[in-house]
Structures are given as structure tokens and as C-alpha cells.
Structure 1
Amino acid sequence: MIKKASLALLLLAPFSAQADSSLGIIGAQSESLYKDTGSESRALPNLSYTGERFYFRLPEIGYHLLPKTPAQSLAVGLSYEGSKFDPDNSDDANIRLLDDRDASVMAFASYRLGPITTKLAQDVSGKHDGFYAQISAGYPILVAAWKIIPSITYRYMDSKMSNHLFGVSQSESIKTGGVIAAYDSPSISRITYGVRGIYPLTQSVNLMLGVHQTQYHNTILKSPIIEDNTVTSVLAGIVLSF
């Protein structure tokens, strides 16, 4: 589900505490972008493993085509795109008649040069057959014992992916007797600003706190099932590195 004041799975991906492996749990409080859909609290696992070429870092699994260095990396793999919506979570009787917006599995290629990472991902699960292109930047700053990581991400998603999340088909509109109008969502862009803080409680146990705000293009507000175009995400967790 796309969230306000929440945690998206993608927020877990960049954190590995500079270790070969990590294990932890992340807690979040969340609200939905969708109309008349309440808040949700949940806990999610943080799992990662990094080998010489192969790596697993929830929510993605990948392989480095070039040896990974501090200066650059080139990888391909599969990722779980957690953006979804279950209409049954809405208090609106008409929205509950709509189809589920299921999460998807994306094949991706990513290239990092210093603090800048580019990524291109294509749906391979048949949920929407769409793609997104993304560029992001983040750099760790040491503040006393804290490692502070500010970041910015721009993502473009094509109309197939956007329509899966924000569109309403004619058949869905008919189910509501036309109360919710049919709507074809165009391609959408969004910008995410964020900061994470990592604090070592012991040599191998780290506290992680984070906040991110995502601003979708105003076009998203034309969708009859969306009530806001801003998503604020907050998280807190404990991660064991080994």
C-alpha cells in the first residue's frame, strides 16, 4: 500500500551497516494515499547478505556484473515493488468494489557512480507490465557517533504502472454504478527527500531512524480514488550486523 507517515519497503534496501550480513526488524506507522483508508501499524524484517558478486538486500536480490567498489557498481536482479492497495481496507463502500492493486516483481538494472545511483526496472510478474526509471543521490555524514544519510530520489513511472496504482477501469466504474468514474492515469513522476540516522548501540547492534517525504506530481490528484499527493514515511528499527 502506498503510505503517508509510513514505511515503504524500498526504505529498507539501502541499509546494510557496512557489513556482509544484517538481521533486524523495522517498525512503522502509516496512512494511505487512497480515499477513506485508515492508518496502519506494522513491523517488517530487515535482512541482507552481500557476497563477492551476489547480494540479497530486502526487498531486492541482485548480482554485481562488475566487482563492487566504493567508486562504482553495476548490478542486475529482481526487486519486490511494494506499492499496492487492498480496497477492502477502505471505509468507502464503492471503493471496496474495486479490484486489488497488487504488488509486483520488477527486473532491474542499476549503476552507481559515487553517491549517485540510476535504476531502470520492468515488471516481470504480469501485474501491470510497466516500468520505472529512477535516479537518486545520498551521502553519509558523521555527526558524533551518528551516521546521518540525507538522500533525494526522482522516479518516473510509465502509464501502465501508474494506471495500475491510480487508474479506474470501465468495468470497475460499472461495479460502482458510475459513482467512481473510469480514469486512465498517465505517466507520473515523484521526488522523495529523506534522511536516515544510524547509531551504534554496540559494535554489532545499530539503531536506525528515518523520515522520508515523497511528492507526486499534481496529476495524481485527478484520480478519483486518491486524496493526497504527498507521502511522509517514518521508520525506526534495530539491526544486528555480522
Structure 2
Amino acid sequence: MKVFVSVAILAWASPSFANEIILSDTSFTSEITEENQNAKEPGGIWLLGTRYGKEGSVYLDMDDDQGFTPVFAYLGKHLYLKGLELGYQVNPMGSSNNIAFSIEALTHEVDFDDSNNTNLDLLEDRDAALMVSLIYQTGPIEAVLSQDISGKHDGFSLGLGIGNNYEIWQFELELGANFVYQDKRLSNHLYGVSQAESDLTSGNIRAYDASETRIVQLNVLLNYALTENSTLSFEIENSHHLGLDESPIIEQERIISTSISYLYLF
């Protein structure tokens, strides 16, 4: 019996990994055979592992974020926990159609101290927000509406994604495409510069009021079933950020992320 679990949605993200909304981080798309799911009920399924990733940054003179992060999740019939996200889905896990509600901590955090740019270091760090989400999934299509409830930026995002899985012997290939809309308040939190911050840099970084932004992502994930209870995954993702070209703290709009993960199910 093969067990495939999409590792990308389960990893605890480091602070800079959470700079942008990634739909796959908030989606609930695990591929576990019905036989295994039933065998684990009513206690649910626990997952533990590690992930080594490298991700570029859109910010000025910011080094690539790379390193190990732990992977931890609980997948129950209705309740699930993925790192710092706690959620409840109306229909049982694995249903072709579902509605879920979740709350997630430590999102949209930016630490400008990680930049090699002395002016960017003077800007205020963007504090992490607490987001609540409404998730609707039908077949391979998923929509996610997320809203800040912590008062850090009071913004919202809307994501739409589609993905398909292809099993080839001991491998599973996942192909996905995501589109994320970030409203003006969330975009300003991530990419804007206040006049007070500009003054701290003596005007070297000009004040900027961000407008709405969008993210288009293409994702390829290859899973290999080592045993009935463990999976090795390789992932590459291309993220194109739209609407950032005028922000003075942005260096590039397109970034590439890669990772390798090991996951054990019990």
C-alpha cells in the first residue's frame, strides 16, 4: 500500500518563508489511501518529518532563505493541525468536496534585519499576523479566503488553485497552479514604506503606498514512497509577484523555491 502526502502544505515556515502568501501553505490537499485512513480512525493520522528548502526573496539585498524546518501535522476525520494552522473541515478527510475553517499564526512576517542593505535595516519589521480562513474545495480546485484578525494589517487575501496527481510506479507527480490576490492593506504591510520610515533612511528609501498585488505560482512536486509509512519529496516552485515594480524595497518580482522533504506517517 502506497502512502503519498503533500509535504509542501505541512512544513513549519520560517519567518522569511512567510513573507508572501502561498496558497499551497494554506490548502488542505493530502493524498492518503482510503484503506489507510480507515485503519487510523478514530485516532486520526500523525505526520512527522523534516524539510530542507531554499527560497529566494523579493526584497532588496535579501539573501536566499535556506535551511531545515520541522514538519508536524495531525490529520483527523474533521480536525487537522498543520504546523501553526488549526482547522476543521465539514466533510471527512478525502472527500471530493469540502468546506474548511482554519486559523493560522505567524503569517506575513518580515525581518528586514536579514537584509544586507543598511537602509532597509532601518525600516520597521513587519509583525506576524493571525489569519482566519474559509476554504472551499471541489475536485482538484480549491479557493481560500483569509482575513487578518490580529490588527497587524487588517488585510485579506483570496487564493484560487488547481492541481492534479499522477501515480507512476512508486512515484507520484503533482502539478499545481495557484493565483493569489492580496488587498491594499496586506500589500502595504508587506511592500509599502511609510513617510516616517523613509525619514529614518534620510530619504534614501522613498515613501510608498502599495496597491493591490497578485501572485501567480507554478509548482511541481515529486513524491517517492520509501515504505508504507514514509515518503521522500522533491519540490520546485516558481512564484511571480505582480504589482511590485514601483515599490522601493523590492528587488525582483520572480523567485524560485526548491526543497527536499522526508515525512513519516503513524
Match of 1:231 among 251, 255, 262: 255
CA distance in structure 1 between the aligned counterparts of 2:155 and 2:114, rounded to whole angstroms:
25
Aligned CA distance change for structure 1 residues 133 and 127 (closer, same or farther; 3 Å): same
Q: Which amino acid aligns with 1:223?
A: S
1:92 and 2:92 are equivalent in the alignment: no
Partner of 1:207: 232
How much is the aligned-residue C-alpha RMSD, in angstroms? 2.3
Q: Which of 90, 112, 118 pairs up with 2:143?
A: 118
Which of 148, 168, 171 is 1:146 aligned to?
171
Instruction: Identify which of 12, 37, 50 aligns with 2:62.
Output: 37
Contact 2:233 2:262 in 1 (8 A): yes
Question: Do 1:27 and 1:42's aligned partners in 2 also have CA atoms closer than 8 Å?
Answer: yes
In structure 2, do the counterparts of structure 1 residues 57 and 203 end up closer, same or farther at CA, with 3 Å as the change threshold? same
**2:18–2:109 contact (8 Å) kept in structure 1:** no
Q: CA deviation at 1:190?
A: 1.2
Aligned with 2:227: secondary structure? coil
Distance in 1, Cα, partners of 2:204 & 2:165: 49
Q: Which of 156, 161, 164 is the matching residue for 1:136?
A: 161
Query: Segments of 4+ in structure 1 off by > 3 A?
Result: 11-19, 66-69, 80-83
Match of 2:10 in 1: none
Structure 2 distance, partners of 1:27, 1:38, is: 16
Say which of 140, 164, 177 aligns to 2:189. Answer: 164
Aligned partner of 2:25 in structure 1 is 10
Q: Distance in 2 between matches of 1:154 and 1:12?
A: 12
For structure 2, which runs of at least 5 residues remain unmatched after alignment?
1-15, 34-43
Q: Which deviates further from its counterpart, 48-57 or 64-73?
A: 64-73
CA contact (8 A) 1:2 1:33 kept: no
Conserved? CA contact 2:76–2:93, under 8 Å: no
Kindly state the Cα deviation for residue 147 of structure 1 after the two structures are TM-superposed: 0.7
Counterpart position of 2:50: 25
State the distance in 2 between where 1:144 and 1:16 align.
15
Count of aligned positions: 239
With the length of structure 1 as denominator, give the TM-score of the two structures.
0.91
Secondary structure of the residue aligned to 1:133 is: strand
CA offsets, 1:78-120, max 9 Å, x none? 1246433211111211111000022322100101000101110
What TM-score does the superposition give when structure 2 sets the normalisation length? Answer: 0.83
1:190 to 203, 208, 215: 215
CA contact 2:27–2:142 (8 Å) conserved in 1: no
* Equivalent in 174, 180, 194 of residue 155 of structure 1: 180
Residue equivalent to 2:264 = 240
Aligned-partner residue type, residue 240 of structure 1: Y
Kept in 2, the 8 Å contact 1:2–1:8? The answer is: no
Match of 2:77 in 1: 52
Structure 1 stretches lacking a partner, 5+ long: none
Letter in 2 for 1:175: L
